[in-house]
Amino acid sequence: MFDVNFLKKTGLQSDIESHSELIEKDDSQHFESNNDFVQINNNNKSYWYYLVVMCVLLFVSYSFFLINNNLNDNHSYIEIDIYDFYHILLDNMDVIQITDINAHNEYFSADFIIDGNENFYNLMSDFSYLLGPSVRGSKFNGNYFIKFNIYKKSNKKSNFSIDELKKEIEDFNLGLSLDLYNDKLIILLEPSNLINLVDFLDKIKVLDKFQFDIESIDDFELYKVLIYK
């Protein structure tokens, strides 16, 4: 009798196992290939993401640069004789109420109330001739207004210190309330004394060497003046 084992056919079993191993190997390689593909795909996505972000940042930076340049270009600096301005002011103080004046190193602005139609047009002509088209005039509730904002060439250097200027003003005996705080000379005065102060500073030739802020307080009953380097 023969014992035949149909379940264990050595050659056939070996072929089946080899085939299974090949399939598993192919599946493993296929899985690794898929992983590599996914990794490459993810890398490509990351690359494009960062590229887009960089492009957006460059565009925003360039836009900001252009806007900033345009703003700077709009600031046309003019050269003015500040003494001519104050002479117009002194000659017309009887018809001008000063709301404020800011005379800084490179920035100059003022806001006035003018008494009367004829005075308004005369002063508009004088200030426009000196300062150019930045001078604006208006009428509201029967009141006339003149204002301007300009960028000017920097102030001249001065050998005067704030302390020395304070002493000069005190020696001139204008009867003013003076105080020195944080390197700023603070003065409170009446409108008539404001004229005297500006006239005095004009005579000692320091109006173009310091920065000035003049502001009306208490409905034009008093003025506060700040003088600093």
Which residues contact residue 149 at a Cβ distance below 8 angstroms, ignoring those fewer than 6 apart?
107, 108, 109, 134
Beta strands per DSSP E along the chain: 77-78, 96-103, 107-114, 136-140, 143-152, 177-181, 184-189, 211-217, 222-228
pLDDT tens digits, 143-176: 999 999 998 877 777 788 999 999 988 888 776 7
Distance in angstroms (rounded) separating the CA atoms of residues 215 and 225:
7
pLDDT tens digits, 44-99: 556 666 677 777 777 666 555 545 544 444 556 778 888 999 999 999 999 999 99
| pTM listed for this prediction | 0.65
